[in-house]
Amino acid sequence: MALVPCQVLRAAILLSYCSILCNYKAIDMPAHQTYGGSWKFLTFIDLVIQAVFFGICVLTDLSSLLTKGNDSQEQERQLKKLIALRDWVMAVLAFPVGVFVVTMFWSIYIYDRELVYPKLLDNFIPAWLNHGMHTTVLPFVLIEMRTTHHQYPSRSCGLAAVCTFAVGYILWVCWIHHVTGVWVYPLLEHLSPSVKIIFFAAVTIIINIFYLVGEVLNNYIWDTQK
Give the model's pLDDT for residue 145.
Answer: 93
Q: How would residue 28 be classed by pLDDT, with cut points 50, 70 and 90?
A: confident
CA angle 172, 174, 180 (to 5 degrees): 100
Mean pLDDT of 175-196: 92
Give the model's pLDDT for residue 71.
Answer: 67
More confident residue, 34 or 70: 34
Give the model's pLDDT for residue 173.
Answer: 96
Give the model's pLDDT for residue 74.
Answer: 77
Mean pLDDT of 22-47: 89
Q: What is the pTM of this model?
A: 0.92
| pLDDT averaged over every residue in the chain | 90
Q: How would residue 1 be classed by pLDDT, with cut points 50, 70 and 90?
A: very low
Give the model's pLDDT for residue 72.
Answer: 72
The answer on pLDDT for 70 being more than 90 is no
The answer on pLDDT for 207 being more than 90 is yes
* Model confidence pLDDT, tens digit, residues 84-122: 999 999 999 999 999 999 999 999 999 998 888 889 888
Give the model's pLDDT for residue 134.
Answer: 94
Find all residues with CB under 8 Å of 102, minimum gap 6, and list them.
134, 135, 137, 138
Instruction: State the burial class of residue 134 (Cβ atoms within 10 Å of its Cβ: 0-12, 13-18, 19+).
Output: buried
Q: How would residue 4 be classed by pLDDT, with cut points 50, 70 and 90?
A: low
Distance of CA 27 to the CA centre of its chain: 21
